[in-house]
Amino acid sequence: MATATPPTTGAGEPSRTLALLWGDPSATPRRKGPGRSVTVEQVVDAALALADEHGLAAVTMRAVAEAVGVSAMSVYTYVPGKAELLDLMVDTLYLRMPRPAWRASEWRTRLTRVAEANRELLTSHPWMTEVAALSRPPLGPGVLGKYEHELAAFDGTGLTDLDTDAALTYLLGFVQSHVRSAHDAARATTDTAMSDAQWWEANQPVLAQAFDPQTYPRSVRIGRAAGEAQGSAWNADSAWDFGLDRTLDGLAALIDRL
Amino acid sequence: MATATPPTTGAGEPSRTLALLWGDPSATPRRKGPGRSVTVEQVVDAALALADEHGLAAVTMRAVAEAVGVSAMSVYTYVPGKAELLDLMVDTLYLRMPRPAWRASEWRTRLTRVAEANRELLTSHPWMTEVAALSRPPLGPGVLGKYEHELAAFDGTGLTDLDTDAALTYLLGFVQSHVRSAHDAARATTDTAMSDAQWWEANQPVLAQAFDPQTYPRSVRIGRAAGEAQGSAWNADSAWDFGLDRTLDGLAALIDRL
DNA sequence: GCAGTACACCGTACAATGTACAATGTACTG
DNA sequence: CAGTACATTGTACATTGTACGGTGTACTGC
């Protein structure tokens, strides 16, 4: 960051990002200067590989540049800045998601597929939960195609247009929230190189005094119960099943009422 | 970041953070050396003020130091590092939340209050959605007190301990996800100094081609409908009402079934 | 009262980041 | 063939968290 003010995305030419996202139709017949050594797609793929293998923090302009074999500053001739690169990464992955036709007649089955597909995507690319916004995504072909496909899963539910949109956002919000929690939990045990049990053991003296059953009766009881039942205070698969059932039941109250 | 490896939190002495969170009972009778110029609480409050007024990015160790009137490095005699400072900030705000007794007899009313209290907190301190983890929070008195209080809202629902915990996490997940979206949407219009309408206008040429009603029939129809109905593609209050109703209905399917 | 020591405080320094800027060279247009 | 637009690059700068070592202070043991 060069300045203290928040980095403005593509200041001056707001459509530059959109042109990039939509593949810039007037790009093929280039005019002057030397040929480009790589392609935007290669740059984005390199960034994706870095993020998947070493986390979002590993996606630096220099690292991306080295991965594609150009200097750091050359990356800026392909993308206006890092923010736009991240947008492209997200849209690219959205674009590559499979879009099978909705055969199932039950809306619950279709929405379960939607949720599971998103869970898989975010689990394979955990950094996306730190980047992908639900309410103001980059309007690229990936985002739009995904949106259209997932909206189609609501066909036949009888929901209004506005309710369909709200329902989809709600469903995706659950998935994102869940994967984010799962990722946080996994990272906590991973990068401290300390299991739940070890951590608990090491902090026994402080915790014994803090976790007073008189002051926090429910917390202590539930903490113990959760630990015994699922080996840890938080189990990803249990939470997923619980949350998805609740979400679909919540939507059922709207859909099946009609 | 001094090294390329991820910063380990309190390496060597894992209970240091906990001692800080719980107010370090053996801290009052200090032994040697000069008296401390400020207190941990002052440091945390300064960091909170910075985050609230200028966003999370404004919370730098130097800025915090200057705000309390010490040098940058002196902050490290109060907190082990920035990660711990953020933990303290979160726990402090949790600790200060009001905890009114649960008078309402209807569980839906009580859970609505829980959701609204969290929405208010996160809306007043939007940076918390970037920091606060649902699944592995800092185990301080604020987190624990809040947890206990919110668990109590489920008294009388007949849920098992495990289900109560899962239900609370689910409810809070919705709130966090919602506020995050609202924050993203607000920031998008704010720091580009461009309204929804202006943005749409400026990108008309590209968008007209991209938003093809043949390829994306539902998206185009719904985008238009949303824009006309609520002036923007995403309306925070509508989304809140929708989501909260769905969440409570989803839980009702579990609770009222008993 | 004095020596010793533990600790608060601070200045300096370093590695890493995004990216502005200006120089250099290339390949197309007239 | 001259001119120019553009890809590529090295250097540079501001900003970040924090490691390190020096300095002075106030308490402990004699």
B4 CB-to-strand D distance under 7 Å: no
Which residues in chain A have Cβ-Cβ distances shorter than 8 Å to B170? 174, 239, 242-243, 246
Nearest in space to A196 (alpha carbons), one of A185, A205, A207, A206: A185
Of A57, A151, A180, the CB nearest to B218: A151
In a domain, B4, yes or no: no
List chain C nucleotides near protein: any atom < 7 Å from a Cβ: 4-22, 25-29
Q: Of the candidates A178, A206, A248, which has its C-beta nearest B22's C-beta?
A: A206
Question: What's A243's DSSP letter?
Answer: H
- Could you identify the residue whose CA is nearest to the C1' atom of nucleotide D18? B2
Q: Is the CB atom of residue B51 positioned under 7 angstroms from any atom of strand D?
A: no
pLDDT for the residue A13: 56
Whether the Cβ atoms of residue A162 and residue B234 lie closer than 8 Å to each other: no
Residue B135: what residue type? S
Model pLDDT for residues B13-70, shown as the tens digit of each residue = 567 888 899 886 555 556 787 888 999 999 999 999 999 999 999 999 999 999 999 9
What is the pLDDT, as a whole number, of residue A7? 32
Q: What is the CATH number of the domain that holds A78?
A: 1.10.10.60
Would you place residue B206 in the very low, low, confident or very high pLDDT band (cuts 50, 70, 90)?
confident
Q: How far is B136 from chain A (nearest CA, A)?
A: 6
Partner-chain contact B219 A147, CB within 8 Å: yes
Q: Do A239 and B169 touch (CB under 8 A)?
A: yes
pLDDT tens per residue, range A20-58: 998 865 555 667 888 899 999 999 999 999 999 999 999
A133 & A167 share domain: yes
Residues A110 and A234 in one domain: yes
Determine, yes or no, domain membership for B199.
yes
The residues, any chain, with a CB within 8 Å of residue A132's CB and separated by 6 or more, are: A90, A176
Range of the domain at A86: 16-21+36-94
- H or E element, residue B214: none
Three-state SS at B211? coil
Q: In this model, does residue A200 exceed pLDDT 90?
A: no
- Give the CA distances from residue A138 to residues A50, B183, B232, in Å, rounded to whole numbers and listed in that order: 21, 16, 16
Q: Are residues A114 and A237 in the same domain?
A: yes
Structure tokens that stand for B193 in this block? 């100094």
User: Is there contact between A3 and strand D, defined as CB under 7 Å from any strand atom?
Assistant: yes
Assess contact for B47 and B59: CB atoms under 8 A. Answer: yes
CA A33 to C1' D6, whole Å: 5
Nearest-CA neighbor of A75 among A108, A113, A126, A37? Answer: A37
Measure in Å the smallest separation between the Cα of A111 and chain B Cα atoms: 15
- Among candidates A136, A181, A216 on the partner chain, residue whose Cβ is nearest the Cβ of B135: A181
The whole-angstrom separation of Cα A88 and Cα A51 is 13
Q: Which nucleotide is nearest to B3 (CA to C1')?
A: C15
The residues, any chain, with a CB within 8 Å of residue A200's CB and separated by 6 or more, are A207
Q: What is the mean pLDDT of residues B211-224?
A: 92
| Rg (chain A; Cα; Å) | 23
Do A76 and A113 belong to one domain?
A: no
Our CA-based measurement puts residue A155 at a distance from the nearest CA of chain B, in whole angstroms, of 10
Two tokens, residue B4: 């390329």
Task: Determine contact, residues B9/B81, Cβ cutoff 8 Å.
Answer: yes
Residue A27 placed within a domain: no
Are B139 and A57 inside 8 Å of each other by CB? no
| One domain for residues A216 and A132 | yes
pLDDT single digits (tens) B219-252: 999 988 888 887 777 789 999 999 999 999 999 9
CA-to-CA distance for B204 and B75, rounded, in angstroms?
Answer: 50
Q: Which of B134, B139, B250 shows the shortest C-beta gap to A250?
A: B250
CATH assignment at residue A251: 1.10.357.10
Q: Give me the residue from B14, B173, B239 closest to A199, CB to CB.
A: B14
Residue type at B93? L
| Residue B242 near residue B252, CB atoms below 8 Å | no
Q: Which bases of chain D are under 7 A from a protein CB atom?
A: 3-11, 13-21, 24-28
- Cβ within 8 Å, pair B191-A8: yes
pLDDT digits 0-9 by tens, A93-150? 999 999 999 999 999 999 999 999 999 999 999 999 999 887 778 889 999 999 999 9
Point out the least confidently predicted range of A20-29, A74-83, A166-175, B182-191. A20-29
Q: How confident is the model at residue B208 (pLDDT cuts 50, 70, 90)?
A: confident
What is the number of structural domains in chain A? Answer: 2
Q: A230 and A148, same structural domain?
A: yes
Instruction: Please check the confidence at residue B194 and state whether its pLDDT lies above 70.
Output: no
Model pLDDT, residue A133: 81
What separation in angstroms does the CA of B192 have from each of A12, A187, B54, B185, B199? Answer: 10, 34, 16, 11, 9
**Percentage of chain B modeled with pLDDT above 70:** 88
Q: Of B186, B191, B211, nearest to B200 (Cα)? A: B211
Strand D proximal to A34 Cβ, under 7 A: yes
Q: Are the beta carbons of B174 and A176 separated by less than 8 Å? A: no
Q: Taking 70 as the threshold, does the pLDDT of residue B156 lie above it? A: yes
Amino acid at B173: G
Residue A89 domain-assigned?
A: yes
The full 3-state SS of A46-103, as one line of letters, equals: HHHHHHHHHCHHHCCHHHHHHHHCCCHHHHHHCCCCHHHHHHHHHHHHHHHCCCCCCC
Distance from C-alpha of B127 to C-alpha of B120, rounded to nearest angstrom: 13
DSSP H helices in chain B = 15-21, 40-54, 61-68, 82-96, 107-124, 128-131, 141-152, 161-191, 196-202, 204-210, 217-230, 236-255
Are A114 and A177 contained in the same domain?
Answer: yes
B192 CB neighbours in chain A (<8 A) are 8-9, 14
Q: What is the pLDDT of residues B75-121, one digit of tens each?
A: 999 999 999 999 999 999 999 999 999 999 999 999 999 999 999 99
Q: A49 vs chain B: nearest CA distance in angstroms? A: 18
Taking all residues of chain A, what is their mean pLDDT, rounded to a whole number? 88
Same domain flag for A137 and A79: no
Would the pLDDT of B1 be above 70? no
C1’ D13 / CA A144, Å: 40
**pLDDT bucket at A201, cuts 50 / 70 / 90:** confident
Q: At residue B134, does pLDDT exceed 50? A: yes
Which chain B residues are Cβ-neighbours of A248 within 8 angstroms?
250
In a shared domain, residues A43 and A115: no
- In this complex, the nucleotide whose C1' atom is nearest to the CA atom of residue A60 is C17
pLDDT value at residue B9: 36
pLDDT top residue among A122 and B201: A122
Contact A8 B254 (CB under 8 A): no
Distance B32 CA to C1 C1' (A): 18
Q: What is chain B's alpha carbon radius of gyration, rounded to the nearest angstrom?
A: 23
Phi-psi category of residue B211: left, alpha or beta, with phi > 0 → left and psi -120 to 50 → alpha: beta
User: Tokens for B73?
Assistant: 């490095």
Give the residue carrying structure tokens 């208010």. B120
**Distance of alpha carbon B25 from the chain centroid:** 29
pLDDT of residue A28: 58
| Residue B46 is assigned to a structural domain of this protein | no
List, in order, residues 6 or more apart from A228 with CB less than 8 Å away. none
Is residue A53 domain-shared with residue A112, that is, in the same domain? no
Q: What average pLDDT does range A239-252 have in this prediction?
A: 98
A51-94 tens-digit pLDDT: 999 999 999 999 999 999 999 999 999 999 999 999 999 999 99
- Tell me, yes or no, whether A54 lies in a domain: yes
* Structure confidence at residue A14 as a pLDDT band (50, 70, 90): low
In a domain, B140, yes or no: yes
More confident residue, B183 or B32: B183
Contact B182, B236 (CB under 8 A): yes
Q: Which residue is nearest to nucleotide C28 (CA to C1')?
A: A32
Which residue did the predictor score with more confidence, A28 or B147? B147
Hey, is A239 helix, strand or coil? helix
Three-state secondary structure along A191-213?
Answer: HCCCCHHHHHHHCHHHHHHHCCC
Q: Is the pLDDT of residue A6 over 80?
A: no
> A209: Cβ under 7 Å from strand D?
no
**Domain final residue, candidates A94, A110, A142:** A94
- B233 lies in a domain? yes
